[in-house]
Structure 1
Amino acid sequence: MPSFDQIRLRLPRGARADAVLAFGVFVLVVVAEGPRLSNGTDSMPALIGSWLLIVAVCGALLFRRRYPVAVGWFTVPATGVYYVLSDIDGPLVVVPIVVLYAIAARGRLQAAAAMAAVMVIGVSVGTLFGNSDVTGTAVFMLTGWLVAVVALGTVRHGRVAYAEEEARLRATEERLRIARELHDVIGHNISMINVQASAALYRLKKDPAQAEEALGAIKAGSREALRELRATLGVLRRVDEEAPTAPAPGLARAEELVASAKPAGLDVRIERTGAERSLPAPVDLAAYRIAQESLTNAAKHSGAGHVTIRLAYGDRELTLAVEDDGRGEVARPAGSGGGSGIAGMTERARALGGELAAGPRPEGGFAVRARLPYGTTGEPTERSDR
């Protein structure tokens, strides 16, 4: 059975919608002008002039999207001339009103207001010169209608502009998220590979056994980097497909970080306090990436030998601290060739409503401390003995 979206009426859009609108208004005017044409009360020149104006004004709707202001300044006086020549108040006034709305919806408020003022002034002048068909009340009502049309067009423009700006912001945030994710996915493993490659070159002649061990770590690290890169790119490609089934990295894989840092000469220890909880996915991923990037910085920049990862599970937030005993150096900022590790970690924490601080410790070494609110209360889980 076809869905509602498949069977519902599809309204025309774009140039086709303009053509339908122009034809519809033309039919309405023809119906209104029928009695006048059959009675023959007007002279032939006036009749021909009226029909030419009808065709021209309705035909101008075909160009309202490409040249809205020009079409507006043509239809307003042309419609006024038509009502001077015609004895019948036909629906041709719909055309300048539609164009007026289109101009306001494009954000051309000054042009729309000027055209509305010209229409009101024209009708008022006609009333002053003895047009008994138009009264002061009619002028007042016309003014209200025109103000409403311009206001609706302005509201439409504001909504479209807001939607476009929101889409641009979402696209920018998504690009930053992808860049941060790729940096975290690739940076850790590539940094470990770089450290191991340096160690292998240094030990190649002096200690072939240790060099072979380092080359094995390089092979394992490159395989892991390739796996994570393929997984990340696969998620990006599956825009309209079903969600990926592979779990996102989290603290459940913290032991893998410990194992991957060991070949780089880092002795990593994990300390947990508080009742362990089932963390929300964004918090779990952020904690994992912060710990991963901190280990990368420790291996690349601090010359540390021992690293302690402290996880404190509170009632409302997770507190994460990564402390090393290195030289207390900070990774160079982005733009100087040193990556964007600290900035990326800070962005992750702030995106969750938390905060992150990184800097040398008074007793020596370097520390990264992050506070990550749960957002939604995690469920306490049984701690497993490690």
Structure 2
Amino acid sequence: MAALATRRWTSRHPLARDILLACVVVTFGAAGELSGMRGETDGVLTTRDVVALLVALLAVAARRYHPPLNLAATAVASTVLVVATGVEQPVLFVALGIVTFTMALRTDRRSALALAGSLAACLYTVDAFVSTGSPWSPESLGLFAWIGMATAAGDAVRSRRAYIAEVEERARCAERTRDEEAARRVVQERVRIARELHDVVAHHIAVINVQAGAASHVLDRHPEQAGRALAHIRDACETVLGELSSIVGVLRQSDDQDGTEPVRGLARLTDMLDALAAAGLVVEREQIGHARPLPAVVDLAAYRILQEALTNAHRYGTGTARLTITYAVEKITLDIVNFIADGRAPAGSGYGILGMRERAATAGGNLDVRAGPDGRFTVHAELPAPTLKAAL
């Protein structure tokens, strides 16, 4: 946790991170000078060593501010110290590598290669003449390798960051374009559906209005004509209901919410049966097993399945239905059986059956709907219902 907090703090304060890095470089440089570095130094911090450490400290701490200018200044300072003292300062080479990496990271590739190559050539020439007095100095080739490695590393990191940023931007653009296209298509589809709904409903409502007027006009004098008018009204109602069902099916989504209606469950089953009885549906109810509290999702799914199945039984059936609720150890089973009047509701049709299947699937169960040759229509649902443990 502390490491994560430190990383977040340093990412928000890059200057503090650079100063910390500069202190680490200078500390190791000073320790190397004092330790003698295996006999290559005298083990004492001289004036030239202190100056080299200060140059390295300033170069690394300010590496993010004008990196090309910082690199040039660091290279000039290193060159002056080498020419003036005739001694190479390892801490300056480390600082040069860090500053070169930063320059390549924050500069385009062509400029970074040109600047790094020029500085490496100048440093090589000065170091070669100071060390050997000859333009050919194999010992000084390490400068090229060091500067080249730092430049390549910085350019690689810059390229990777640019690639990641481009990929993320493309993903954002693609997502934004996809959302805009989806929204545009939704608007177009809604306009089309609204136009179609208006045409269908307006036409049939006009027909119903005309036929209702005709029926009321001839009801007393010509009852047979009133019957025909009422038949036309019934046909128009069935047609418009069918059209509405098809249009609602286009709009329907599997994640539709139930609105603001209070959550129902099997505890409200008696009220539902009373309402159906008042509407003319006689339901023979049977319960097998002891009723127990059910998970909320299962309880609501069971209620909705029974509601839809019994509504269909009242709408398409002969006026009676048989309901059986079975409480098993780990499940609850619902069986609704009725006889279809004139075969008006074939098995598997309609959005009511689709809704019951979705309800059962949401609760982790399954639903089976069958229509027998004798007109018997059966809805069978099995929902998982593990026994709930009492709260302590």
TM-score by length of 1: 0.45
| Greater C-alpha Rg | 2
TM-score by length of 2: 0.45
